[in-house]
């Protein structure tokens, strides 16, 4: 248990001692510090209740005009036909590891505003916010989520029946942490590698392009 009372999901679930937590400012929230994107997932099922909670967290994201453009399509191992169909939509490099996880989600975002039909340039932006909610809520429940761009969008549209007025967002794997040893060697190396980020001064600036932000 962390000092702020939040359960530390990695220790609770991983069978091996790897440290994937962000090496960051001590005041960054534990839920953010301890979120990461594994590829080794166990086959342990995600309960209906936990699945509902992560989707509910996504539901409460902010969105432009409160349009809530996000839609989530869920393929679970408990429905083998749906799960196999979703695995088949992924590119082979993602199939290799993602197929072990019990839940696959494919996201879509409405392209137009419902109140006036005009283009909503923030549809995928807001779907991304909903995904961040989902990921952090998953972390709070001892689950992990891993987003993927590597899937066949046309196939997903066709297999799920997503209408033209919706963009495809990310595919997402949801489940419990597995053992890195279950992965092919190259993927296993990435699984245990330290996570990297650009320094803050490469992404945050003063009020002009490239002007340093004095913090
Ligand atoms: C929109 C999006 C698409 C991604 N696509 C893939 C993917 O197709 N395959 C994959 O293995 N990881 C994918 N990732 C995971 C990123 O590689 C990962 O988030 C990044 O390396 C940072 O690692 P972290 O999430 O553990 O901090 C994707 C992440 C996002 C947000």
**How far is Cα of residue 20 from the mean position of the Cα atoms in its chain?**
16
Ligand 1 nearest-atom number relative to CA 169: 1
166 lines ligand 1 (CB under 6 A): no
Sign of CA dihedral 72, 77, 78, 80: positive
Ligand 1 nearest-atom number relative to CA 97: 11
* 145, pLDDT greater than 80: yes
Q: What is the signed CA dihedral for 21, 18, 55, 148, rounded to 10 degrees?
A: 90
**Residues 44-77: pLDDT tens digits?**
999 999 999 999 999 999 999 999 999 999 999 9
Q: What is the pLDDT of residue 19?
A: 84
Q: What backbone phi and psi angles, to 5 degrees, belong to 144?
A: -130, 150
* Length reported for the chain: 215
| Helix/strand/coil percentages in the chain, nearest 5 | 40, 20, 45
* 6, pLDDT greater than 60: no
Q: What is the pLDDT of residue 16?
A: 52
- Tokens 């937590």 — which residue? 21
Distance CA 196, CA 193 (A): 9
Rounded mean pLDDT, 154-158: 98
Decide yes or no: CATH 3.40.109.10 for domain 9-202. yes
**How far is Cα of residue 33 from the mean position of the Cα atoms in its chain?**
15
Tell me the CA–centroid distance for residue 74 and ligand 1, in Å.
19
Parallel/antiparallel/unpaired status of strands 144-148 and 103-110: unpaired
Name the residue at shortest CA distance from atom 18 of ligand 1.
Answer: 37
Distance CA 173, CA 215 (A): 37
**Residues 21-52: pLDDT tens digits?**
999 999 999 999 999 999 999 999 999 999 99
* 4, pLDDT greater than 90: no
Parallel/antiparallel/unpaired status of strands 70-76 and 103-110: antiparallel
Q: Is there a contact between 33 and 167 (Cβ–Cβ < 8 Å)?
A: no
Q: Tell me the domain boundaries of the chain.
A: 9-202
128 lines ligand 1 (CB under 6 A): no
Name the residue at shortest CA distance from atom 12 of ligand 1.
Answer: 148
């Amino acid at each position: 248990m962390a000092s702020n009372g939040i359960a530390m999901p990695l220790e609770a679930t991983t069978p091996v001692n790897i440290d994937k937590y962000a090496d960051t400012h001590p005041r960054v929230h534990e839920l953010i510090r301890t979120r990461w994107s594994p590829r080794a997932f166990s086959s342990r099922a995600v309960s209906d209740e936990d699945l509902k909670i992560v989707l509910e967290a996504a539901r409460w994201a902010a969105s432009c005009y409160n349009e809530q453009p996000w839609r989530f399509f869920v393929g679970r191992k408990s429905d083998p036909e749906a799960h196999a169909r979703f695995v088949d939509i992924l590119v082979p490099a993602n199939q290799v590891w993602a197929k072990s996880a019990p839940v696959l989600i494919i996201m879509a975002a409405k392209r137009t505003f419902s109140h006036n039909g005009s283009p909503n340039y923030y549809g995928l932006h807001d779907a991304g916010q909903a995904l961040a909610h989902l990921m952090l809520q998953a972390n709070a429940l001892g689950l992990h989520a891993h987003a993927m761009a590597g899937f066949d969008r046309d196939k997903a549209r066709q297999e799920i029946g997503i209408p033209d007025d919706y963009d495809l967002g990310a595919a997402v794997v949801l489940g419990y942490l597995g053992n890195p040893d279950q992965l092919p060697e190259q993927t296993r190396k990435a699984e245990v590698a330290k996570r990297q980020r650009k320094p803050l001064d490469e992404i945050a600036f003063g009020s002009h392009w490239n002007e340093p932000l004095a913090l």
